[in-house]
Amino acid sequence: MKINRIKICDFRNIQEMEISLCENANIIYGENGQGKTNFIEAVWLFTGAKSFRGAKDPQMVRFGQEKAVMEMEFFSGEREQTARMEINGKKTASVNEIPLKSPADLAGRFCAVVFSPTHLNLIKNGPQEKRRFIDTSICQIKSKYIHILNQYNRVLNQRNSLLKDMRFVPALYDTLDIWDERLASYAAVLIKTRATFLQRLKPFATETYKGISREKEALDFMYLSSLDCDLEGSIPEIEKQVYESLLSKREEDSKTGISNYGPHRDDIEILLDGKSARIYGSQGQQRSCVLSLKLAECQLIKETIGEYPVVLLDDVMSELDALRRDYLLNHLRDRQLIMTCCDKAYFKTLGKGMGFKIKEGKVISSRKYGG
């Protein structure tokens, strides 16, 4: 997967920018607050996922403007494709000039992996970040997943409203069953897909961790469901177990007025030599775990779609020590990389590429380096 050219208009502080990227390393550099992360965020939106900064659509339109428009030319396999996205209240997208039903349908057409300082704290930050990591990764390789996730969240919100209303209208209790059945059917798909994804990710991640840690400790991880279910089971089996588990926890949910169990509360346990990396791991070990997961994500996408995703590194270099920095860059040489940083110090380590200096949302200079 390679981006040729991208044009961005009225996206955050970027009024108008058009960049032709090279197929190796592209370094976007400049002082703080100039629009480097905004650029990465715009590229990321073409994966069909939401902003990796958790921004709502209207927040991404340039202040005082009505809409943001982005256009991208990219190669998927041998085929050149164009994608267009508009944020005008909400997002709309088209590929090769054919409108998509939903911008989420971009998932799987353009693939990227993003790595930002928030990811470095993935292990410390608790289950929500880990769920977001796994969900965005799966969306890249399973285009239907995002729709299941949206359906699950919709049913979950309805169930939560019902649980609240039940406190005032106890007769509503009888309708809970319908929502539990629906919730169980979506939850089973999410749980099974997430658990299977982690199993597929594991060999790549453990191998990478061995490389980074020079075989000092062994990485392992597993999906922790908040509901009682057998992750090895089939989706119908899990659905039945999830429904029964929801039933057994109904009283607690009714008392608290919220759904306390389900994929929205699940976690990923990350272990080093069998012990929790969150509780016992040093900062360096935790970061090595995250690097391993991110590099494994690239490998798994390659295994699934037959080519590497575009790698987006937002300001992570300054957060890593020399050992981990070198490891990361050495393992990203054969794919398109877009990386932001404040200075040009990394040009030397990256071999061949292009540098783009950004100021106030504009490219003020660009140059080739290396090669």
Residue 32 is labelled as binding a ligand: yes
Q: Which two tokens stand for residue 87?
A: 């944020």
- Whether residue 186 contacts residue 148, with contact meaning beta carbons closer than 8 Å, is answered with yes
Per-residue DSSP letter, 55: -
Of the two residues 39 and 133, which places its CB atom closer to ligand ATP in the complex? 39
- The residue assigned the tokens 């106030």 is 360
| Spatial contact of 146 and 139, defined as CB atoms under 8 Å apart | yes
Judged by CB under 6 A, the stretch of 57-65, 103-111, 192-200, 238-246 that binds ligand ATP is: 57-65
DSSP letters of 267-312? EEEEEETTEEHHHH--HHHHHHHHHHHHHHHHHHHHHHHSSPPEEE
> Should residue 63 be labelled a site residue for ligand ATP when binding is judged by CB under 6 A?
yes
The response to whether 37 counts as a known ligand-binding position is yes
In the complex with ligand ATP, the residue whose CB is nearer, 208 or 340, is 340
Helix, strand, or coil here: 219? strand
Kindly state whether residue 316 participates in binding ligand ATP, applying the rule CB under 6 A. no
Binding of ligand ATP by 13 (CB under 6 A): yes
Per-residue x/- track, 326-355, ligand ATP (CB under 6 A): --------------x-x-------------
Closest among 68, 104, 71 to 88, alpha carbons compared: 68
One residue of 21, 24, 36, 156 binding ligand ATP per CB under 6 A? 36
Cβ distance to ligand ATP smaller for residue 268 or 320: 320
Q: Which of 32, 54, 101, 348 binds ligand ATP (CB under 6 A)?
A: 32
- Residue 355 known to bind ligand: no
**Rounded distance between C-alpha atoms, residue 103 and residue 110, angstroms:** 12
Task: Count other Cβ atoms within 10 Å, centred on residue 9.
Answer: 17
Minimum CB separation of residue 268 from ligand ATP in Å reads 27
Q: Contact residues for ligand ATP (CB under 6 A)?
A: 12-13, 30, 32-38, 59, 61-63, 315, 340, 342
